[in-house]
Structure 1
Amino acid sequence: MPAHIGRPVITLAPHLVTTEDLIDRIATTYRDPDFPSRPRPSFGVWKRLILNTGVRQRYWSRPLQEATTPSSVGHRAQVAFGDALDLAESAARQALDAAGLHPGDIDAIVTSHTTSWTVPGLDIHLIERLGLNPTVARMPLATLACSGGAHALARALLHTDARHGDRVLVVVAETLSTIYHQSEDTPQSMMYRALFGDSAGACIVTGIDGRDYPDPGFVISDPFELAMPNSRDRYWGSIDGHGLHFESTKAASTAAADALPYMTDWLGERPVDWAVVHPGGPRIIDDVVAGVGLDPHKDGRHSHTSLAENGNLGGVAVLDVLRRAHDDPPAPGAPGLLAAFGPGFTVAGVYGNWA
């Protein structure tokens, strides 16, 4: 049974950080005589890595000075989760309002949140804050990072397939600025601190009978999940006394392209006229859009614009790209694909048609 995805709501963090601001902050830090001195690439190399991300600006939950000041792992986790929860609540309330729903109308909630440790999770906090039914079905997802939004939509589809007509609230929140650590100076750390932004996204997924389309949007019918064999060397997270870190190897640059044969096998002979692709970086967008037979410039434009304006929003990113597709939609009935990629190396996606 297909399901309809309502227009996602995206709540960006309050503090705009331009790439120029970030470069100036990094330059000031590494000119500081108290900063540990050791062999490192020239600042010109770092600057080039930062500019190559394709990100012009991003929004962080804390001002640049505060976000880049060292603190303990406990403090970072507490602040990061508190900020993520506030963003998530705002996005969820707006998604309910846009759909004309009350909290009691929601049958299930799917959440994804990776960037700070908390027990109980985001789902429990949102049930209390939003006033959802205490018996609402819960699907809390963690450790998925960038694939979280697509994975959440796939889980929502499976839920509505089992419980026809249910309304599922999907909420994803990430405060990725928490990976900024002043003491790190590897090329990867320079690239990632420039790549990521903080945000939350929410939407309503409703099971439908295949005929009743409540509003324009993506009607999905088939989910896809992949844990690519022998690929844990691509992207991963780690934690120490300073907080959360995001790491990768050179193998990461081809991870999305390496996963494409699995995706095309899943698609088979089904047509793809448009795509919502996770804006993990310019190469990821172009590799995937071209890999499913589309034009990276034309059909990857929403992903590239999202990346430039907001940075990589982690699991929220595909929801932001889907929001942009609502504002500049495919033709009615056009078949399409949504896909995202995360540490592991993992892929999640859904296939369907534009209503």
Structure 2
Amino acid sequence: MPAHIALPAVVLPDHVIATDEICADIRRAHPDRPRLEAHLRIARATTVRTRRFTRPLDAPTVAGNATIEERNRAAYEDALRLAVRSGRQALAHAGLAPDDIDCVITSHTTSWTVPSLDVALVRELGLRPDVRRIPMATVGCAGGAHGLVRAHEDIAAHPGSHVLVVVAECLSTATYNHTDTSRESMIYKVLFGDGSGAVVVSDTPAWSGPSFVIEDTFEYVLPDSLDRYRGRLSGAGLHFDSTAAATAALNDSLPAVRKWLGGSGKALQFAVVHPGGPRVLEDAAAGFGLDGDRDHGDLRHAWASLAANGNLGGSAVLDVLARTFAQAPGDRQSGLIIGFGPGFVLAASRGHWSA
């Protein structure tokens, strides 16, 4: 059964942090770190120029020494505020009232809180008490794409439904921790940003504008990839680690994705790809046979999102999708939405553009 995706809403916090500021802060915190400048050159190669944080760079819960309790509380409180704003905007984009929503799907990985984000949003957005809820708490960067897959499944099981997908992450509290001193941690301090994205997926659209129409979905867990990207909890907070094999994970998964895509008999004409980093985007362009030019190619919206916002986690793919709406593909063009997360998993929706 087809499902229609409306224009996403993306909400970013107020504090704009330049890459130069982060590099200066890393030098301040690790003046004696061997090969620090070499590591910072690698970090700058992420192409991220700016990112948004919910709190200033020098806040205790970002570059400071806040406890895990303080970091956890800040991550949830800030994420909830962003999620409420993006959820309201997504409803407005779709021309729907809170009572129209039949299912809410949430993804939030950067804090541990019970009850979770979905329950809070029922209250804050004024959703019906009997709304179906699908909370996701550990999918990380795959959250937006994974939420779209779950929305398509929910609509297939409940025809006529409107589903609200909301993703919110405060990665500054989770990945910006000066107790982490590896080369990878220096890269992640530069790579990630905070933000929230929300979108309505409907059986029959209530809005009059364009939509991405999902025709089929796909999920894949790369075998033996548990440690490629992973979270770790310590007394100092939540940490994000990876192995040397992590950057090859998409290439290792491409045969399975191409096999699924090949079954449609349609060549891809556009793609909405999670901007996890330069290697991910380069491999996606090559693997899907797309124009890889960063400024004018098929993944230009992903490159632009990465440069301006960094990797927003699960909402990043929704930001790329919103940018795609602003420069829409042609009517009926075949497209793909795909996101990736730890260890290495992916979620994808294949479909077409409807003008």
TM-score, structure 1 as length reference: 0.95
Q: Indicate which of 38, 42, 67 corresponds to 1:45.
A: 38
Structure 1 residue runs of 4+, over 4 Å off? none
Q: Deviations over 1:213-268 (max 9, x none)?
A: 84202011101111111111210000000110000011001001111011001111
C-alpha deviation, 1:41, in angstroms: 2.7
**Are residue 221 (structure 1) and residue 215 (structure 2) matched?**
yes
**Are residue 100 (structure 1) and residue 95 (structure 2) matched?**
yes
Matches within 5 A, 1:123-142: 123-142=118-137
Q: Indicate which of 259, 267, 281 corresponds to 2:261.
A: 267
- Gaps (5+ residues) in structure 2? none
Q: Which residue of 2 aligns with 1:200?
A: 196
Matches within 5 A, 1:66-215: 66=59, 67-178=62-173, 179-208=175-204, 214-215=208-209
Q: Which residue of 1 aligns with 2:290?
A: 294
Contact 2:273/2:339, CA 8 A, preserved across alignment = yes
Q: Which residue of 1 aligns with 2:25?
A: 25
Matches within 5 A, 1:275-354: 275-297=271-293, 298-354=297-353
Name the amino acid aligned to 1:201.
G
Instruction: Measure the CA separation in 2 of the matches of 1:109 and 1:177.
Output: 26
Name the amino acid aligned to 2:261.
L
Same amino acid, percent of matched pairs: 48
* Residues matched between the structures, number: 346
Instruction: Measure the CA separation in 1 of the matches of 2:180 and 2:228.
Output: 19
**Are residue 234 (structure 1) and residue 233 (structure 2) matched?**
no
Residue aligned with 2:197, SS: strand
Q: Deviations over 1:23-65 (max 9, x none)?
A: 111122223xxxxx6xx43231122022011100000011010
Name the amino acid aligned to 1:278.
H
Q: Indicate which of 213, 229, 238 corresponds to 1:244.
A: 238
C-alpha deviation, 1:118, in angstroms: 0.8
Name the amino acid aligned to 1:240.
S
Name the amino acid aligned to 1:4.
H
C-alpha deviation, 1:276, in angstroms: 0.4
Residue aligned with 1:262, SS: helix
Distance 1:9 1:213, change over 3 A: closer
C-alpha deviation, 1:307, in angstroms: 0.3
Instruction: Measure the CA separation in 1 of the matches of 2:196 and 2:137.
Output: 15
Instruction: Measure the CA separation in 2 of the matches of 1:184 and 1:101.
Output: 44
Distance 1:351 1:213, change over 3 A: farther
Please report the RMSD computed on the Cα atoms of aligned residues, expressed in angstroms. Answer: 1.3
Contact 2:9/2:90, CA 8 A, preserved across alignment = yes
Instruction: Measure the CA separation in 2 of the matches of 1:65 and 1:117.
Output: 23
Instruction: Measure the CA separation in 2 of the matches of 1:160 and 1:97.
Output: 20
Instruction: Measure the CA separation in 1 of the matches of 2:239 and 2:29.
Output: 19
TM-score, structure 2 as length reference: 0.95
Q: Which residue of 2 aligns with 1:34?
A: none
Residue aligned with 2:325, SS: helix
C-alpha deviation, 1:335, in angstroms: 0.4
Contact 2:270/2:336, CA 8 A, preserved across alignment = yes
